[in-house]
A and B are shown apart, each in its own frame.
Chain A
Amino acid sequence: MKIATDRFGEIEFKQGELLHLPEGIIGFPGFVRALLLDHRKDSPFRWLQSADDPKLAFVVIDPLLMVADYPLDKLCDALARFGQRPNNVAVAAIATVPTAPLPITVNLAAPLAFDAQTRRGAQIILDNPEFHTKHMIVREDPPPPAETEPPQPADSQVP
């Protein structure tokens, strides 16, 4: 299967790679089929690209990287509403990456949880004051200096 996306161009994928969110994402009821894509090899971030809206993608991150005892049990309980309590749950928290200097934050209050077997999931509101929608968890090192080419004389002739 193929989809066109704004950010990644045309993506080819197998049906089995799709993640399903039958209820959509809160505020985005049409976000029902998605693909999880790597950002880059050494990055903790990934992208959840809508398979139906080429423009729509979320930056996501594994909340267990920040909170080792994130309540996976609660997420499994919540996913039982699809008929079966999953044995394995996959979880992704949505990150908000605004323009600097605003901080990068992660929504730990309402993660996306998926049954790892059926690949079906939902955005689950944890309703726990310990977890916030704007969790600040990351530290940024400044970007490496841009590699600028030495300015060339405007009217020099390269032999």
Chain B
Amino acid sequence: MLVLSRKQGQSIVIGNDIIISVKEIRGKTVRLSIKTPQGISVYREEIHREIAEENRRAAAAAANDDSRLGQAKVRVETK
């Protein structure tokens, strides 16, 4: 793993077309700007992890017996 030091206003380039710049440093918070080509998604890591975990739960549950979906009459409640 590469570890770099950057000052406010400085950037790093990943590949040829991903640019991450340090916009602002305030206390313990760093504001980054991320420029990516079309088709590359950028997520906050904790949100990405939460979604991946929920997807894994859903897949594991779906691999089990589906009698619950089949037997129970499931009604969707609208807000």
Q: Which residues of A contact B (CB under 8 A)?
A: 6-7, 23, 25-28, 39-40, 43-45, 47, 55-59, 61, 65-68, 81-83, 94-100, 104, 107, 109-110, 122-123, 125, 127, 133-134, 137-144
Which of B38, B51, B56, B79 has the most C-beta atoms of chain A within 10 angstroms of its own C-beta?
Answer: B51
Inter-chain contact B51/A109, CB cutoff 8 Å:
yes
Chain A hits for B70, CB < 8 A: 39-40
Choose, from B1-9, B10-18, B26-34, B40-48, the stretch at the interface.
B40-48
Q: Which residues of B contact A144 (CB under 8 A)?
A: 71
Interface of A is mostly: loop
Chain B residues with CB under 8 Å of chain A are: 38-39, 41, 43-44, 47-48, 50-59, 61-64, 66, 68-79
Nearest CB in chain A: distance from B65 CB, A: 8
Q: Which B residues lie within 8 Å of A133 (CB)?
A: 50-51, 54
What are some 6 contacts across the A-B interface (CB < 8 A)?
Answer: A23-B41, A26-B51, A26-B52, A28-B59, A97-B62, A141-B72
Closest residue of chain B to A47 (Cβ to Cβ) is B62
CB distance from A46 to the nearest CB of B (A): 10
Q: What residue in chain A is nearest B65 (Cβ atoms)?
A: A99
Q: Is the Cβ of A107 less than 8 Å from the Cβ of B58?
A: yes
Determine whether the beta carbon of B51 is less than 8 Å from that of A143: no
Contact (Cβ within 8 A) B68 A127: no
